[in-house]
Amino acid sequence: MSSSKDFIKIKLNTLGVRTLPHPFAKDIQEIYCYVQAKSLKEIDIPNDPNPRDPITDKKSFDELSEIVAQADTHPDMFGYAAIGLHIYASEAELDNKTGELTLSLSKSKTTRDGLVNGNHLLKAIQDADEVPEDRFVRAFIMTKVPELKKLDISVGLNSSNEVSKESIWNYQGKLDWIKKSIKNTEWEDLVVYHQGDTGNFPVRDILTTLYTLRIDGTEMKFTPEINTVGYGRKHTVMSIYDIDENIKLFSARDKDLAKILKFQDYMQFTAEKLWKEAGGDEDTYMFKTYSATKCPSNPTEGKPDRMLQNGVLVPLLAAFRALIAYDGKFDYHKAKTIWDSIGAELMLEPHMTANNYGELRPVGYDTTFWMNSFMKVLKEAKMQYPKYKRKSA
């Protein structure tokens, strides 16, 4: 039996409360009311039902905060201008004498009570310097909504700005295996899992990287299959992940993910250095200005001036799936040894191809470049590690 410890109690100062039972789902109760905006200043309402967090750095948010604080002529029309607050609660109890509405919000992460829409409005009220006493906002409270329906309702209420696939997957727990894989690494707090999340590295980039490193069984054949979807077609990778039975294609590398990301960073931090040491042409399309948001860790001293463009990075990283095909896992140290040995050679082809095209983009789709990179890594692996040669004999 649930106790008071299982719930968060929220008290709202209200006017004009109306209660309406759902016409078909008799357990669901709908409560419509106006809530005094000032009473919301210190209230903490969980955002668990919403797949995304509020993005508070936009100009529109600053403008909303200013409007909340402005005095208005009577009657106050702000309640109509703002869409209001939509809240899931387990129970709701109204004190008819004072107009105080007490909401019981379950603390359980599986129940997901709390604010499903209106977080921008709530944050704007809480950030405003002063809020007029007679400023009210509309509130719509729903009690005992089935868990299976909450996500659908949330997506519908947030339709003015489409809810991303990542936000929905995060809500459903379909990205939890990634969080577990990079826990206690430099990546733990850097990945963006949903809209409004802190961090700077999109989770879709991780999914794309893992897709390019999937094993299809043709790696040790004379002509391995080459699929360039991992470059320039992230929407296709996202559509593949959206099918539940395909998630295992990505999560198969869960124990390798931290090592893969570490190696990807190492490639970025050493690429231009290897290229210059080998006498590579300074005039090349392969590099772009270094961005900490795309390469957050720092395995070397200092930071490079430039890093690899995706049209080069993605195919070259994909070539190292040869190691996974042999070992059944990704070995960071082997990959690093091979990259240190032939990294400059691997970059020569995309440099020449991009210079011929006059741009880099076609390089990322060039299946010959993907194939040649894979074969070079495979050849070097056999030279560095004799057991590979015996396995493929």
Determine the pLDDT at residue 178.
94
Which pLDDT belongs to residue 159? 46
Give the confidence band of 344 by pLDDT, cuts at 50, 70, 90.
very high
| 346: pLDDT strictly greater than 90 | yes
For the chain, the average pLDDT equals 81
Do residues 369 and 316 make contact, with C-beta atoms less than 8 angstroms apart?
no
Residue type, 123: K
Question: Tokens 């357990």 map to which residue?
Answer: 27
| pTM, 2 dp | 0.63
Encode pLDDT of 134-179 as tens digits: 888 888 888 877 765 555 555 555 544 556 788 888 878 899 999 9
Q: Which residues of 210-236 are buried (b: 16+ CB within 10 A; e: fewer)?
A: bbbbbeeeebeeeebebebebbeebee
DSSP secondary structure, 50-97, as one string: SSS---TTSHHHHHHHHHHHS--PSSP-HHHHS--EEEEESEEEEETT
Distances (CA, A) of 127 to 62, 71, 119, 223, 385: 9, 16, 12, 61, 61
How would you classify the pairing of strands 114-117 and 29-36? Answer: unpaired
pLDDT in tens, 46-77: 887 766 666 655 555 566 666 777 766 566 66
φ, ψ for residue 13, nearest 5 deg: -85, 115
What is the predicted pLDDT for the residue at 162? Answer: 55
Chain-centroid distance of CA 228 in Å reads: 23
**How far is the C-alpha of 160 from the C-alpha of 152, rounded, in Å?**
14
Contact status, residue 117 vs residue 86, Cβ threshold 8 Å: yes
Range of weakest confidence among 35-44, 148-157, 210-219, 241-250: 148-157
Q: Residue 231: CB partners within 8 Å, gap ≥ 6?
A: 212, 310, 311, 314, 315, 364, 365
Q: Can you point out the beta strands (E) in the chain?
A: 7-21, 29-36, 85-89, 91-95, 100-106, 114-117, 136-143, 191-192, 201-202, 287-289, 306-308
Specify the pLDDT at position 155: 53
Name the nearest CA neighbour of 45 among 100, 155, 120, 145. 120
Angle between helices 310-319 and 203-212 (to 10 degrees): 50
- DSSP per residue, 6-17: GEEEEEEEEEEE
What pLDDT, in 10s, does the model give residues 14-29? Answer: 888 888 877 666 677 8
Q: What is the distance between the alpha carbons of residues 133 and 68, in angstroms, rounded to a whole number?
A: 11
List pLDDT tens digits, range 73-90.
Answer: 566 666 665 678 888 888
Q: What pLDDT shows up at residue 315?
A: 93
pLDDT in tens, 280-317: 888 888 988 887 766 766 555 567 788 898 889 999 99
What the block records as the tokens of 239 is 């559509």
HSE-CB for 337 with a 13 A CA cutoff? 13
Please give the pLDDT value at position 318: 93
